[in-house]
Amino acid sequence: MNAIEQIHELREQLAQLRQERTKEGRLPTVGFVPTMGYLHEGHASLMRAAKEQCDIVVLSIFVNPIQFGPNEDLDKYPRDAERDLALAERLGVDLVFLPTVDTMYPSPTKTKVNVKEVTTLLCGARRPGHFDGVTTVVSKLFNIVQPDYAFFGMKDAQQVAVIQQMVEDLNFPVTIVPCPIIREEDGLALSSRNVYLSEQQRQEALVLSQSLFQVDTWMQSGEVTTVSELRARIVQHIETSPQADIDYVEILSFPQLTELDASTSLHAHRGQAIIALAVRFGTTRLIDNRIL
């Protein structure tokens, strides 16, 4: 496995690998896993999926400054490149791209990619400019790596929807592969930011997954039948945690991410709606979701 910092070196190494792994005239497929590092089992699941589906796997590790707001956690975002590289090597990743900020943004960015509509709610409404930063860096990475497949975790379902929309609108020749949320044994969705939680906050954060897991029980028992009733029940459950500060609890169409009529039956939206949560515990903001 090679760890590379420069764009031209990555392209040279990829070209060499493509040539070496061409078989009987069939070009090898390239799978790409873009991350911000501090890798956990959720990231590992993406690398495994890429390894299973593709001939060459490229991982990127880059904490992208233009997707962080002025009061967000860019400076303290957890980093551990040595551990990340060891995990990538164990999982059989072929190339790891570790660019610096100067490599990705050698001069102030005058061009940004802006996706409309699917960015107006949820995290997009609360983090102005965040998704412009995401789509800009991902489009740059797609142009650098030129993958056939790119793997994204569904924990950030809005990001998946935004990237899919960008790829469709701009005709990127890449297939987006959404991968399931990976959770701890007690249900907490894996996140690099979980390291910020105190022991008490970590315990209380279980109300997120618990509320999502309870949805089927509430629906089957008839306790909730409409979109508004389900949202109210989830809010009620989360508020049993003294430290939980709700940012949003939303039930939207997916992947369009448009608002649903609050009075409509939940059963009418099965498989076509997402329950999305964002809750702060102290200074740590956690997100979670499930498809209805």
**Residues with catalytic function:** 43
Model pLDDT, residue 200: 97
How many beta carbons lie within 10 A of that of residue 97, not counting itself? 26
Predicted confidence band at 23 (pLDDT cuts at 50, 70, 90)?
confident
Model pLDDT, residue 121: 95
Q: What is the mean pLDDT of residues 179-201?
A: 96
What architecture does CATH give domain 192-287?
A: 2-Layer Sandwich (3.30)
- Listed by start position, the domains of the chain span 2-179, 192-287
For 38, the 3-state DSSP assignment is coil
Q: What is the pLDDT of residues 239-271, one digit of tens each?
A: 999 999 999 999 999 999 999 999 989 888 888
Confirm if 266 and 228 have CB atoms less than 8 A apart: no
Q: What is the mean pLDDT of residues 174-184?
A: 97
Confirm if 81 and 91 have CB atoms less than 8 A apart: no
What is the spatial distance between Cα 43 and Cα 46, in angstroms, rounded to a whole number?
A: 5
- Cα dihedral 154, 155, 157, 160, rounded to 10, equals -50
Q: H helices of 177-226, where?
A: 199-204, 206-213, 215-220
Predicted confidence band at 117 (pLDDT cuts at 50, 70, 90)?
very high
Model pLDDT, residue 268: 87
**Topology annotation, domain 2-179:** Rossmann fold (3.40.50)
How many beta carbons lie within 10 A of that of residue 150, not counting itself? 24
What is the spatial distance between Cα 196 and Cα 283, in angstroms, rounded to a whole number?
A: 8
Give me the long-range contacts of 264-268 (CB less than 8 A, separation at least 24): 264/226, 264/227, 265/225, 265/226, 266/219, 266/224, 266/225, 266/226, 266/227, 266/230, 266/292, 267/219
**pTM, full prediction:** 0.95
Tokens of 111: 């061009």
Model pLDDT, residue 271: 84
Q: CA Rg, the chain, in Å? A: 20
Q: Rounded mean pLDDT of the chain?
A: 95
Q: What is the pLDDT of residues 63-95, one digit of tens each?
A: 999 999 988 889 989 999 999 999 999 999 999
For 110, the 3-state DSSP assignment is coil
Predicted confidence band at 1 (pLDDT cuts at 50, 70, 90)?
confident
How many beta carbons lie within 10 A of that of residue 229, not counting itself? 16
Model pLDDT, residue 25: 81
Q: Do domains 2-179 and 192-287 have the same CATH topology?
A: no
Q: What is the pLDDT of residues 128-161, one digit of tens each?
A: 999 999 999 999 999 999 999 999 999 999 999 9
Model pLDDT, residue 242: 96
Q: What is the mean pLDDT of residues 280-286?
A: 96
